[in-house]
Amino acid sequence: MSKYDLNDPTDVDIMKAQFDMYTAEEWEEFIKLAEEDKMGYKNINILKTASRKAGMSKYLSVKVINWVMSLVEKLEFEDDEYEDE
């Protein structure tokens, strides 16, 4: 998993740019995967928040974006494992 320094403006810009690359439809897929994996109420709700703010990272805190991107990374990794089988 990528580690970002939340105090480094460059890392923050990279995280925000990665967040903004995902569309609302992609966020819905992540929500669906998280529900299937039973990732927990808080994680699913933060993904739903991300879905509503798709492409608008400026409305989310850096900590929330970091949390969401770590969930996305985990979900993408698990999804890749399923495709390999």
Domain assignment present for 4: no
Name the average pLDDT for the chain.
Answer: 86
Nearest of 39, 41, 46 to residue 79 by alpha carbon: 39
Domain assignment present for 2: no
Q: Per-residue pLDDT averaged across 8-19, rounded? A: 91
Task: Give pLDDT, residue 45.
Answer: 93
Q: How confident is the model at residue 83 (pLDDT cuts 50, 70, 90)?
A: low
pTM above 0.95, yes or no: no
Q: Per-residue pLDDT averaged across 7-19, rounded? A: 90
Which residues constitute the domain of residue 61? 9-84
Measured CA to CA, the distance from residue 64 to residue 70 in angstroms comes to 10
Domain count along the chain: 1
